[in-house]
Structure 1
Amino acid sequence: MPWTSRRIRPRRVAALVSVTALTLAVSTSAGSGPLTAKAPTAAGPVALARSDSHGACLINGGPTVQMSEGLPTPNGYSRSTGTVRALTLMVDFSDAPGSGPALSRFREFFPQTQEWFRTSSYGRLDYRPETPIPDWLRMPRSFRSYGIERGAPFDPGYRRLVQDIVAAADPRVDFRAYDFLNVLVTPNAGPSALDTVLSVTFAGNTDAPVADGVPVANASFVYSRQDDGSGSYPQTGYRVLPHENGHVFGLPDLYTQAGGGAVGHWDIMSEDWGADNDLLGWHKWKLGWLDAAQVDCVTERGTTQYTLTPLARPGLGTKLLFVPLSRRTGYAVELRTHEGNDESVCRPGVLVYRVDANVDTGRGPVRVYDSHPDSGGCTRSPNVHAELSDAPFTTGEEFRDPRRGVRVRVEGVDEEGNVRVGVTRG
């Protein structure tokens, strides 16, 4: 069945809750199969970076969980390491003709998206967008006639649209050469992104249209301009595409019906506007961007001391601690600082969050714990869930779960910005 991705901006939550509730019941986040003639590859690296000591931390969800946070990611998603080729098409309609050169639309997202993934992956993902058709690809029907709404992809409107894209592009495109498809729709098609976010990623449908012998079962659609109303679109508008492509690599939505309240801007799969933000360490491990030596699985009882290096900083060092609570869930601990894709972090420190592999995408599979609840946060970036912006713990502060006997205490910072933490298991 198709899995979709759709985001809710905080100030539009009330108006969209009923719609989201309906669509989540159908299907929520994105998955993919590679658009090549080869057999499907596993998500991330050839094998998850792990050792025997990581066994207890390989949490996993039940077979019915949609886009589980579990490890390893199932087969069927695009590779997230090495070179991936993204077929990128710019599409317009008779009732929404492209304004200006199609390559101007392309440049709204590139090379920024490439650079974002290069930085986040420490250079392990070589993302290559290709535009064999540099002009607007005109669809044979008007945009209105497709009936595109915030519904599940591969509804009749999307099926017609994908079929028309394939028919229009196939004479000039060998679909077997690409790992996934980006469709950059002319931004005057559909409502403003401030009113309704139509952008969606879908995959996993065995009935997907076929081109050059392969199913076009993996595509990210970007509509309108993903502005947050702050006037920062030229700097931040491109980040809707890294979010959508995150689904292509097997990552779930971290927002919920209440918006980004569970994770805030600490992961682009939660909020992709406003303050710059990277991916959580758990996601970087899931995607194959962290080595086994950079992830410690905390299983011993008592208190153990660790030194965390900043997650955004390339190089050696421990980037992620995970405290398994069961075979489904556990606590993750990482150090977030003002660097890399996290350049807008307003309170650096140790981020603690719970990962639940048994929770569907868009239902809150991750929850960040706030070191300063009800403070209002420390960012004033428009439409960002500000309350969690000051969530990290700093020297002398600690996270406690008395019921589980878990404690994470920040002990101090060294000259290089690494942080010492003590983790206690009861």
Structure 2
Amino acid sequence: MPRQLPLRAVTREVVERLGRLGARPRLRSTAAVFTTMSALAATSILTGPSAAESFASSPCALRRTTAHHSEGLDTWNAAYPRPASALDAVMVFLSFPDAAPRTTPAELAADHFPATTRFFEHASYGKFTLRPHPLRHWIRMPRRSTSYAIRRDWSAAHRAAYLRDALAAADRHVDFSRYDLVYLVADPDAPGVDSDATKVVNLDTPLRADGTDIRRVVTVFEKHPPDQLVLAHETGHVFDLPDLYHRPMDGKGDWDTYVGDWDLMGSQFGLAPDLFAWHKWKLGWLEPRQVTCVPGIGSTVLTLEPLGAHPGGPAVGAAGAPAFGLGLGTKLAVVRTGPDSVLAFEARGPMGDDAAACRQGVLVYRVRSGEESGGGPVEVVDAHPRTEACWENSVYPPLADAPVALGESFTVPGDDVRVEVQGRTAAGAWTVRITPG
């Protein structure tokens, strides 16, 4: 996507649908450590519940489908590393014969860390830590930067050549068996480097190095300093999270019409980029008791804790005051609306990763497990469709005021589910009544 001003900037498409191109050329690495590498495929890896453990038995847990990055969460796709406890990531810094770097590896590492680690620690309530291991020196690529034709919609052949050369050059310096994630960071000032090309590359057949399968690599081409939280967004794909933005066919128009500011996988520039509670459930960061499956008949009154409330200590509330006693209660309410769809309800406000949130209240969104990444698997429902907010810095002002505010009621169009926000507790949680039609 062409670069835009920060007010309306958007995230990148992570993978191309190369699996639709037909025959996939096979390449052989010049390094003995690599096995045969197939062309890159966005829809590769394992699909279907038989490939993974079952971990969400709630009747509201959508079944994982064959859709790329399916929002189903009844099983975990074992082809992706699960962000539980801690994972180690190596950062490899690549220079080229046609440019002398004007930055240092330490400067580029500081562009992304500790910010990326901090984001995931907040989002996971301390359950997950991403540990970076940046190299301290540049590794020289064998060819000029311009020879790889780096761009957003990168060809399979050029991208495969880039990966083959990068990993072969790095293997003399890196023991890949020690790491769970690989970030290849290119010299941002090399003439052939396109800062719009940062993305995750999935491998149909993994590379083999140091006795380890490398199934996906994050190729980083960011300028210095980079777009905010861009590495957190790309790392989300490594954990099987989909793109939530809409890419216009002609490249023009708004990209953020699906979820606006409300999830990092929609836009890393969002005012409230914390991951949806649905994603936290998928990643294993919510306990079963923190998810309520609302019955299809009658009314259910429940208390929703703010998504950003952390159980480890005082969180900062909307007015800057500590919000004690939060963090272990219900974070997500779900109404089943079909075989592969639900309505989700969560409380959002200026707290944690959402510190700059434009509005607060109960956010409502649809989840569809059969929709692919980039195809609208999640859509925020706007409780105030005739107004917008925070036009000066929201990525999509029409959805900036989407939450149902205190004292308001709202009926979800098309699903006839009514939500009433009845009050706040002394600790800052939201009292909500949900009534399916």
Query: Common fold, TM-score beyond 0.5?
Result: yes
Q: How far did 1:209 drift?
A: 3.0
Q: Map 1:239-258 onto structure 2 (within 5 A).
A: 239-258=229-248
Q: Quick check: 1:273 aligned with 2:272? A: no
- 1:12-27 residue pairs with structure 2 within 5 A? 23-24=16-17
d(CA) in 2 for partners of 1:253, 1:59: 18
The answer on whether the counterparts of 1:372 and 1:391 sit within 8 Å (CA) in structure 2 is yes
What whole-Å deviation, never above 9, does each CA across 1:314-362 have from its counterpart, x for those lacking one? 1211000111112201100000010100011010110000001110101
2:405 maps to which of 381, 394, 397: 394
Classify the secondary structure of the residue corresponding to 2:431. Answer: strand
1:274–1:191 Cα change, 3 Å: farther
**Counterpart residue identity of residue 242, structure 1:** A
1:104 aligned counterpart, secondary structure: helix
Aligned counterpart, 1:220: 218
Report deviation, 1:123: 0.7
Q: CA deviation at 1:118?
A: 0.7
2:421 corresponds to:
410
Q: Of 283, 296, 303, which aligns to 1:287?
A: 283
In 2, are the aligned partners of 1:330 and 1:355 still within 8 Å (CA)? yes
Aligned pair partner of 1:103 in 86, 106, 128: 106
Output the CA distance in 2 between the equivalents of 1:400 and 1:189. Answer: 53
Residue 264 in 1 paired to residue 260 in 2? yes
Partners of 2:43 and 2:128 in 1: CA distance: 19
Deviations 1:76-106 (A, max 9, x none): 1012111100111111212243213211111
Q: TM-score, normalised by structure 1?
A: 0.83
Task: Give distance in 2, aligned partners of 1:188 and 1:138.
Answer: 14
* Matched letter for residue 181 of structure 2: F
Q: Which residue number corresponds to residue 187 of structure 2?
A: 186
Name whichever of 416-425 and 390-399 sits farther off.
390-399
2:197 aligns with 198
Distance in 1 between the 2:390 and 2:161 partners?
46
Q: How many residues align?
A: 386
Pick from 353, 371, 386 the counterpart of residue 359 of structure 1: 371
- Which of 93, 102, 125 lines up with 1:122 in the alignment? 125
Query: What's 2:91 paired with?
Result: 88
**CA shift for structure 1 position 135:** 0.8
Which SS does the other structure have where 1:282 is aligned?
helix
Residues 1:159 and 1:25: Cα distance change in structure 2 (over 3 Å): closer
% identity of equivalent residues: 36
For the residues of structure 2 that align with 1:101 and 1:410, how far apart are their CA atoms? 51
The residue type equivalent to 1:368 in the other structure is V
| Partner Cα separation in structure 2 for residue 308 and residue 326 of structure 1 | 23
Q: Aligned partners of 1:325, 1:126: CA distance in 2, in Å? A: 35
CA gap of 1:190–1:219, structure 2 versus 1, over 3 A, is: farther
Matched letter for residue 103 of structure 2: G
Question: Deviation per CA, 1:378-415, whole angstroms, max 9, x where unpaired?
Answer: 24216x12221111111232332365332111111122
Structure number with the bigger relative contact order (C-alpha 8 A, sep ≥ 6) is: 1
Contact preservation (8 Å) 1:78, 1:179? yes
Give the CA deviation at 1:61.
4.9
Change (3 A) 1:318 1:226: farther
Structure 1 unaligned regions, length at least 5: 1-6, 34-41, 228-232
How many angstroms apart in 2 are the aligned matches of 1:156 and 1:192?
17
CA contact (8 A) 1:375 1:387 kept: yes
Secondary structure in structure 2 of the residue aligned to 1:165: helix
Distance 2:339 2:153 in 1: 33
Structure 2 alignment gaps of length 5 or more: 21-40, 249-254, 311-326
Q: Which residue of 1 aligns with 2:252?
A: none
Query: Relative to 1, partners in 2 of residues 1:328 and 1:334: Cα closer, same or farther, differing over 3 Å?
Result: same
* Contact 1:276-1:343 within 8 A present in 2 as well: yes
CA pair 177-126 structure 1, distance change in 2 beyond 3 A: same
Q: Cα deviations across residues 135-194 of structure 1 (Å, max 9, x unaligned)? A: 1111111111011222357x111111111111111122111111110112222246897x
| Residues 140/274 of structure 1: CA separation in 2 closer, same or farther (3 Å cut) | same
Normalised by the length of structure 2, the TM-score is: 0.81
The 4+ residue runs of structure 1 with deviation greater than 4 A are: 7-12, 22-33, 190-193
In 2: Cα distance, 1:292 partner to 1:198 partner: 38
Q: Distance in 2 between matches of 1:122 and 1:151?
A: 35
Query: In the aligned structure 2, how far is the partner of 1:318 from the partner of 1:124?
Result: 17
